[in-house]
A and B are shown apart, each in its own frame.
Chain A
């Protein structure tokens, strides 16, 4: 049984590697798809700023960046550098290695994402359970209404509304992660408190957009489980309602949520782009947006690639988590 499980993990892992390879090819193809390239754009910016750039200079730069080479050569160069040197290439826009740009933004992005994710699960799962257990109660209706509103209102709009409320209440719009006073100041307790204050709106906005969906999923799953025969049997045998609910039903109801962790991981990273722009958060979303507009191909490509890898890893983890959580799934996976 144990070796079978290991075989299952290895099989999944190999599929994952193959998927990542195919994705890398697709990602690189997509980035090089639009006509023109970064240089044309860069030269355009220089010219718009009144500078004149000679054709020789452009040709030279093209050769330097390998933009005059065929697709497959460019791809090979890119992918081998990543695999063997951890080098994701050079960002033309920032004029620095892609890894440096990503490093500068990855920490705030990850912190924001993890905190939001935690917030999402901590809020939605208990509420989902509560709503299911107290179906059609006042609390259930209240949460359901909030849930639907949360799902229907675009989150960037919610961001703007909360920003307006914050401005009316405090005289500050609470944009970004820090107030003007603390933005460039060294770390201190006041700065940390300032950070926490500025986190309220982003967490609410980004968190709510996933919370509502998860809440509804949890509620319906829970309702399903509560009406199943095993619940009835357990009740008939005189097991306490609390034990039935939390030891058996929740465990079964949480499966779809565990299965979707892979996607929500990425969703939280990429789904925040517009919110990050509206709330002026130094997250990767906005950098990615600019990189795409400016065809900063290695930066855009690396980020897309990382996202894809994360989805794949997330799916891989969900599969294993699910197999571990649910004996039925495990059996199905291993035998089928």
Chain B
């Protein structure tokens, strides 16, 4: 569960790790259990056990691109700013800040009582160092371009940092939510391969204790945390690569939280005797992405035809079971950039066939599969293991495209191989994946043509000068209405140009064990006040030996 925002944008590896920073909320009406002891005052103790589908491989907020790592990093690291319960940016490591010269300059006033987990003081030098790594071409970070417009970052004194921008950059403040890394640990050593990336030292509410690959990560409460020690003693993130197994473990009370699939959410109430269910729209979307460097997908008519051949209603009703809605573009409905007037792609297999014929695809050999110049219209769609909804979506897509004469093979791959061997290297025809988004609508990292290349987020190879220009403009515009106009234009352009088929905006359906008190839903979802959660002494399940 994300308790702050570790990265502005990250992979969504599966239902289990959907970020919980979401707008709008609603709690399912479950009768309050007898064990709710609201009047008790907070006490320390107990352990919070979560599960992740993938191994948190990069415990460094600059290098992490997957939500499993992001989830752990969010306990260990802090940014300069963070979102509060109402999704307002507030200070985190920065106590306050001044924005000067129309946004060209931000001065952060840092907290003075912050210590790294190894006892060293957190100072302005760490901020400067973090920035230098972000823009260092040797550092394998996907977040560099958020800082490309920075002219300089200067430490004015130990607790004051001045950031100057070359041009106005609207997401500037949000971008400083990225976790700060300790200069004294990394300085003079290789940043990408430093052992601290597997044993992180941060400033956050929890200290790193242990990482066992493909098994678990253990974190312990930081007694010196600048906002005060969190009540929950330990956080354990267990790697359970299958959501069905997670579900069984949840029923068995061996994990305290997980993101449910819609069918699990709908299961018998008795399954949730010990847990509370929550439901709210997530700030994410799931898409079908074309590898645009493949010649068969160059023609927009072909991409449009494939979108028209897909009856999305079946996915919304059958897979999401109504817990989510059809997507029209890259902004979820709860974002201010969302344009409600962008139309859905109509389901129309007849038009789809006509468009394909127009693009030169016909079934000349009568085998039921379209062909052109002797090669059949066949491709492989890949997705990750553990996310049943994506597998089902792939199967539905396969069936629907077969009806218009397109042959689709499906490969379901293990998460880290999926990301590192296939997605990062552009080694795929098409894929089904999801984006976990930041609050700011800037998705330059995903769509700008400069963000193509290995390990970057524009892995579909989208290159459109017009949207490039608009993404740049959106970053330079501070006026909310003008910015909205820019993003609504992008929304429309992407919906027409279809580098992805935007599939759906899923809802977050998390459960949390009932013994945890102070779990509160807000526009930010749940988890935003994790530090204040506690378990009354009599209900604590795990006690430390010492």
> Are A and B associated in one complex?
no
